[in-house]
């Protein structure tokens, strides 16, 4: 069973939902009306945080699950938690200024790459 990986998946989805709610709150606070995608820097940063999180989900989630299946549920979940922490650090930094998003981006990128490389290596080893 993959209970830990399932929990991390649900936490990642909850974080994504949080970023979507944050965009809605930012629209209200800054006066950026639907369907506009720009207008106030605070809104634009909130929107980019949500979109960047969405852009990484198709990289992160399959790699997370393949790593769990081929290597370890617990290790996949641990690296997945690091990914979520990276996204939170990204959220906090980018919410303040675009220049402050780098640390969180690096953390989540390295976690996603570790999951992908691990899964690729494990799958490849089983093919030979």
Residues 6+ apart with CB under 8 A from 96: none
Could you report the per-residue pLDDT of 73-118, keeping only the tens digit for each?
999 999 999 999 999 999 999 999 999 999 999 999 999 999 999 9
What's the CA gap between 20 and 58, in Å, rounded? 17
**Per CATH, is 3-127 categorized as 1.20.120.550?**
yes
Q: Where are the domains of the chain?
A: 3-127
Q: Quick: pLDDT tens for 19-73.
A: 999 999 999 999 999 999 999 999 999 999 999 999 999 999 999 999 999 999 9
**Per-residue b or e along 72-82, where b marks 16 or more CB atoms closer than 10 Å to that residue's CB:** bbebbbebbbb
* pLDDT value of position 24: 97
At residue 127 the predicted structure's pLDDT band, cuts being 50, 70 and 90, is: very high
Q: Check residue 74 and give its pLDDT.
A: 98
pTM: 0.96
Overall size of the chain counted in residues: 128
């Amino acid at each position: 069973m993959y209970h830990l990986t399932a929990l991390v998946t649900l936490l990642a989805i909850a974080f994504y939902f949080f970023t979507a709610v944050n965009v809605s709150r930012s629209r209200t606070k800054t006066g950026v009306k639907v369907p506009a995608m720009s207008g106030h820097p605070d809104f634009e940063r909130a929107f980019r945080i949500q979109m960047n999180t969405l852009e990484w989900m198709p990289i992160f989630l399959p790699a997370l699950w393949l790593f769990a299946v081929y290597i370890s549920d617990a290790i996949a979940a641990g690296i997945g938690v690091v990914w979520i922490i990276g996204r939170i650090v990204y959220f906090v930094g980018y919410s303040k200024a675009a220049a402050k998003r780098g640390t969180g981006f690096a953390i989540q990128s390295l976690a996603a790459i570790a999951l992908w490389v691990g899964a690729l290596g494990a799958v490849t080893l089983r093919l030979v």
